[in-house]
């Protein structure tokens, strides 16, 4: 009964929030640069044939954040970055084109034209979406995903050893300070690699080369800007994961998307706008 009420309420809530001037005004008044981030996470779904399968929930967020103090590359994980002044998140299990339309609708709902920057994990669909919805903007590869690829390469090169840990720490700093060119240079200095090790190094170079123009961490740190997509990672974990990925859970597609509306409402701190008639401007 609770689930059915929540599902029905989500439809009503979506209608009330679709063109709410108070939400738009709050977003416009908030201080800071406008950021967009997107990611995906998988949820267990029961399809029309009553068979369980995994479906990707695409999650997007528009936020404003004031800049922090200038920082050097070694300070990347010790500096204090201001919290977002406003966040509006959304999520749905749907195709790339449908999700792109959802992003367009959210952009219009908040009165956003372009964004100051976009952060993502390197997936092509995210960067394609950014270009289609917001036009040309500064794109930034999430530092943690870049570091994860370095770590995976290090395991192949050195195994789980102290040498691997030391190499990873150094290479992560090279990535932040110098971007693609620095990592490529360091990998070329490795001699006598076996076939599997060479393949791992080539794979890392290819991944970073494809995102070379997004490896501007040093500049962003100096300007007090974010280099990690922690906000969207948090949305995937707390907006989607905490409710839709519980142990043993298996959802009907329609129900999952409706519950995602309510979860996004809570994550965006827009709950109060769902239960009253918007004031006219």
Q: In this structure, are 30 and 61 located in the same domain?
A: yes
What does the alpha-carbon distance between residue 169 and residue 77 come to, in Å, rounded to a whole number?
12
Instruction: Please indicate whether residue 249 or residue 182 has the higher confidence score (pLDDT).
Output: 182
Q: Give the mean pLDDT of 225-244.
A: 86
Distance CA 260, CA 60 (A): 12
Q: What is the mean pLDDT of the chain?
A: 91
Question: Do 33 and 77 belong to one domain?
Answer: yes
Does a structural domain hold residue 17? yes
Residue 280 lies in a domain: no
Whether the per-residue pLDDT at 279 is higher than 60: the answer is no
Query: Is residue 9 domain-shared with residue 125, that is, in the same domain?
Result: yes
**Mean pLDDT across the stretch 242-268?**
88
CA 68 to chain centroid, in Å, comes to 20
76 and 27 share a domain?
A: yes
Last residue of a domain, one of 214, 240, 263: 214
Q: Is residue 222 part of a domain?
A: no
CATH number, position 122:
3.30.420
pLDDT at 77: 92
Structure tokens at 184: 């490529």
Does 220 map to a domain?
Answer: no
Q: Please indicate, yes or no, if residue 236 is contained in any of the structural domains.
A: yes
Instruction: Report residue 134 as tokens.
Output: 């917001």
Residue 163 shares a structural domain with residue 86? no
Mean pLDDT for 191-200 is 93
Task: Please check the confidence at residue 280 and state whether its pLDDT lies above 60.
Answer: no
DSSP 275: G
Q: What is the DSSP letter of 201?
A: H
Same domain, 71 and 180: no
150 and 132, same structural domain? no
Domain termination residue (choose one: 167, 188, 214): 214
Supply the pLDDT for residue 266: 86
Calpha distance 88→64 (Å, rounded): 9
For residue 278, is pLDDT > 80? Answer: no
115 shares a domain with 24? yes
pLDDT score at 281 = 46
In a domain, 163, yes or no: yes
Question: Given a cut of 60, is residue 220 above it in pLDDT?
Answer: yes
**Residue 54: is it exposed, middle or buried by C-beta count within 10 angstroms (0-12/13-18/19+)?**
exposed
For the cut 60, the answer to whether the pLDDT of residue 277 exceeds it is no
DSSP 3-state of 174: helix
Rounded percentage of the chain residues whose pLDDT exceeds 70: 98
Asked if residue 236 has pLDDT above 70, the reply is yes
For residue 59, the model assigns a pLDDT of 94
Question: How do residues 130-166 score in pLDDT, each as one tens digit?
Answer: 999 999 999 999 999 999 999 999 999 999 999 999 9
**Residue 142 and residue 215 in contact, taking contact as beta carbons nearer than 8 Å:** no
Q: Which domain holds residue 8?
A: 2-139+228-275
The answer to whether residue 223 is domain-embedded is no
Rg (CA), the chain: 21
Low-confidence winner among 20-24, 62-66, 145-149, 184-188 (lowest mean pLDDT): 20-24
Please count the structural domains in the chain: 2
Instruction: Output 150 or 2, whichever has higher pLDDT.
Output: 150
pLDDT higher than 90, residue 191: no
Q: Minimum mean pLDDT among 1-15, 107-121, 251-265: which range?
A: 1-15
Please give the pLDDT value at position 249.
Answer: 85
196, 241: one domain: no
pLDDT of residue 276: 65
Q: Are residues 110 and 17 in the same domain?
A: yes
132 and 234 belong to one structural domain: yes
Average pLDDT over residues 172-179: 98
Same domain, 71 and 190: no
Residue-wise pLDDT for 115-133, tens only, equals 999 999 989 999 999 999 9
Cα(58)–Cα(97) distance, rounded to whole angstroms? Answer: 11
pLDDT computed for residue 17 by the predictor: 82
The verdict on residue 233 lying in a domain is: yes
Domain limit, last residue, from 214, 238, 261: 214
């Amino acid at each position: 009964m609770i689930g059915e009420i929540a599902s029905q309420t989500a439809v009503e809530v979506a209608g009330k929030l679709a063109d709410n001037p108070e939400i738009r005004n709050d977003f416009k008044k908030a201080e800071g640069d406008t950021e967009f981030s997107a990611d995906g996470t998988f949820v267990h779904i029961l399809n029309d044939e009553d068979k369980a399968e995994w479906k990707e929930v695409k999650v997007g967020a528009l936020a404003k954040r004031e800049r922090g103090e200038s920082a050097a590359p070694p300070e990347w994980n010790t500096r204090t970055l201001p919290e977002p002044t406003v966040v509006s998140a959304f999520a749905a299990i749907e195709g790339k084109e449908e999700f792109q339309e959802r992003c367009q609708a959210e952009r219009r709902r908040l009165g956003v034209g372009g964004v100051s920057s976009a952060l993502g994990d390197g997936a092509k669909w995210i960067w394609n979406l950014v270009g289609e919805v917001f036009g040309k903007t500064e794109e930034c590869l999430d530092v943690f995903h870049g570091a994860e690829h370095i770590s995976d390469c290090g395991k192949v090169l050195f195994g789980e050893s102290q040498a691997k840990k030391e190499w990873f720490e150094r290479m992560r700093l090279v990535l932040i300070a110098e971007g693609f060119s620095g990592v490529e240079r360091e990998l070329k200095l490795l001699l006598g690699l076996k076939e599997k090790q060479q393949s791992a190094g080539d794979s890392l170079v290819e991944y970073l080369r494809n995102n070379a123009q997004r490896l501007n961490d040093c500049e962003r740190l100096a300007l007090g800007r974010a280099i990690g997509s922690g906000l969207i990672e948090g949305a995937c974990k707390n907006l989607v994961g905490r409710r839709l990925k519980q142990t043993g859970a298996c959802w009907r597609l329609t129900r999952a998307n409706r519950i995602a509306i309510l979860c996004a409402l809570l994550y965006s701190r827009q709950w109060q706008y769902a239960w009253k008639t918007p004031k006219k401007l």
